[in-house]
């Protein structure tokens, strides 16, 4: 299994407008095709815990996470307890807006349970990782649409 998966997108919106979206973890289900819901315990900041519902086809499974990095308008990262992966969004200002990088890192590998489930239930490591990258690109495209709508004043940022 690959230790780091990554996708990025250019968004015609300020880092502040993009940040209002990526840092609002309660809205993750609107963006991610796999993480359908995140319940957040209190205000999002370093140390905040979440309870998540994930879905792939007919499979539904819960996970929990903890925010491990939180730098407003720059980066947010959370570690999934069950498989030890770290998901992050990094915002970099550009001449035309913001470059957003979404990463899934497994610096110490994934848990044995996660490896077993990926191999036996989720289609194997290659197919599962391809699904994750496709999901990251879909997530970023949805975030781009929402951020650009905010930046043009087409919608309220909530």
Q: Give the pLDDT of the chain (158 residues) as one tens digit per residue.
A: 568 999 999 999 999 999 999 999 999 999 999 999 999 999 999 999 999 999 988 889 999 999 999 999 999 999 999 999 999 999 999 999 999 999 999 988 888 888 888 888 888 888 889 999 999 999 999 999 999 998 777 655 45
- Domain with 125, as residue range(s), is 4-151
Please report whether residue 38 resides in a domain.
Answer: yes
Please report whether residue 157 resides in a domain.
Answer: no
Please report whether residue 156 resides in a domain.
Answer: no
Amino acid 125: pLDDT: 84
Please report whether residue 158 resides in a domain.
Answer: no
Amino acid 113: pLDDT: 83
For helices 125-151 and 15-22, angle between their N-to-C axes, nearest 10 degrees: 130
CA distance readout (Å), 101 to 51, 75, 98, 104, 122:
23, 9, 10, 10, 25
Local structure of residue 12 (DSSP, 8 states): S
Torsion, Cα 60 61 67 70, to 10 degrees, reads: -20
Amino acid 155: pLDDT: 58
* Domain CATH number, residue 89: 3.30.530.20
Amino acid 1: pLDDT: 55
- The Cα 22–Cα 13 span in angstroms is 13
The number of folded domains in the chain is 1
């Amino acid at each position: 299994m690959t230790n780091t998966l990554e996708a990025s997108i250019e968004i015609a919106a300020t880092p502040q407008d993009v940040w209002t979206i990526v840092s609002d973890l309660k809205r993750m289900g609107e963006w991610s095709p796999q993480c359908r819901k995140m319940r957040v315990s209190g205000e999002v900041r370093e140390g905040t815990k979440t309870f998540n519902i994930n879905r792939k086809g007919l499979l539904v499974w819960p996970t929990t996470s903890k925010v491990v990095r939180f730098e407003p308008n720059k980066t947010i990262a959370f570690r999934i307890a069950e498989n030890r992966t770290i998901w992050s969004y990094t915002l970099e200002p550009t001449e035309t807006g913001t470059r957003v990088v979404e990463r899934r890192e497994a610096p110490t590998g994934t848990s044995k349970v996660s490896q077993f489930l990926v191999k036996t239930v989720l289609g194997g490591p290659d197919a599962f990782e391809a699904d994750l990258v496709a999901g990251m690109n879909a997530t970023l495209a949805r975030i781009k649409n929402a951020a650009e709508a905010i930046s043009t004043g087409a919608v309220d940022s909530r």
